[in-house]
A = this chain, B = another copy of it.
Amino acid sequence: MTTYLIAVKILPRPEVLDTQGRAVEATLKEGGLNLEHCRVGKYMEISVNAENQELALNQVREMAEYVLYNPLIENFELEVKG
């Protein structure tokens, strides 16, 4: 068994109004910073023990689908960090 660190990146779906993103975008622009667009979501790093990377990704995908993200309004993406 190896310990894998998997990141879960959760963002509101493109068709959903991202109120946090709008607020951050407005604040940055008022501060004179130059950006096109900003979206705000959640980030998690989860360490799991698994036989291999694929099984570790499957375990974390199961967690994401179990409670971490809301499929009605969010999308998620996984990344192997180590």
Contacts and interface: CB of A to CB of B under 8 A. Distances in A.
Contacts of A38: 44-47
A7 interface: yes
Interface in A19-56: 21, 24, 27-28, 31, 33-49
Given A63-B28, A68-B24, A35 B47 contact: yes
Given A28-B67, A31-B66, A35-B59, A43 B3 contact: no
Given A33-B63, A35-B63, A66-B33, A24 B44 contact: yes
Query: Chain A interface: which size bin?
Result: 20 to 34
A57 interface: no
Interface of A: 3, 7, 9-11, 21, 24, 27-28, 31, 33-49, 59-60, 62-63, 66-68
